[in-house]
Structure 1
């Protein structure tokens, strides 16, 4: 199914480790692209492309200061990701709770079954003591 828009969404934007690193770098301060690119072993153009993807997803805001553009992190779009993850967290918690109930119920059913033989030294088996 084709997407109506070619703009990257939050999920696509944070899929790349470099972009996640950029968000962390911009978490505490606003920086121009020249200062940002000094933190990475890639060209300024490559850093600008990553910043463009983050800006298109709404995770980075741009502000002109004189001739330079400064970038800052905007966490608001991450709320979509948080809601998505919360759904799956509840999903897995429910699945694990159901598995736990199943295992515990199965264990209760087995406790009424005849005892199994336990191995002795030398390969012989004996029945466990009666309870």
Structure 2
């Protein structure tokens, strides 16, 4: 997020202040729309990192009702045999939230990864 905040030209903030905007108005109407792709990118990245977390969930969660989907899938592997159809179906279901989130926010993610996020905001 630091990169996104540093990429916002200081002149936009100053111009809004000269026009009489308050601090809240500057943040919500000037800065937030410019860093929105960065917020979405960080949010989706954090969601994917937490959704796919396995090790800490396996170690620290002791109650069966609190275990994550990934830990539940690991529990499907048996000592003498594995129902691969069930494992694959559960894996697809576990991947669906990430795929849907990425599909819905793909435009914002791509905009967040490009460098020209303030293009057109300041006349050069």
The answer to whether TM tops 0.5 is no
Q: Which has the greater radius of gyration?
A: 1
TM range (shorter): 0.3 to 0.5
The structure that is strand-richer by fraction is 1
Q: Bigger relative contact order, structure 1 or 2, given CA contacts below 8 A and separation 6+?
A: 2
Identify the structure with the greater helix proportion: 2
With normalisation by structure 2, the TM-score equals 0.32
